[in-house]
Amino acid sequence: MAITDENGFELFDHDPVMGRTIWSYFDGEKTHYRIDYQVDQLVKENEYHRNNSSSGWQGEWHRIASVPLNIMYASGLHEAINQGDDKFASKFLNDGDNRAWRTKEGNV
């Protein structure tokens, strides 16, 4: 018996180590895939580091974020970092919608 979610997607694969679940849905013409990632633990860890990091920006190195790889690639952040596009990276990391990925307060 297949496992389906509330939207009719059928479980295709689950990797508990990666925290990744792949779902598939056949609409009569083609198959669609959806990949879900568990990020609750990462969000908690980022919040812990954000709340316990020193204030200010003294020194040469700061851990400012921990972003899941799927979000890094889908958002364009990975490409921006590779190309040295600090403006895009700063905009992404300073956006309130991405606060869960920040590990340090302040503006980048």
Q: Residue 9 and residue 98: Cα distance in Å, rounded?
A: 27
For residue 4, what are the β-bridge partners?
Answer: 10
Q: H or E segment at 93?
A: helix 86-94
Give me the residues of the chain with pLDDT under 70, please.
none
Whole-prediction pTM: 0.72
Q: What are the extents of the domains in the chain? A: 1-38, 40-101
End-to-end CA distance of the chain: 50
pLDDT in tens, 11-36: 999 998 888 899 999 999 999 999 99
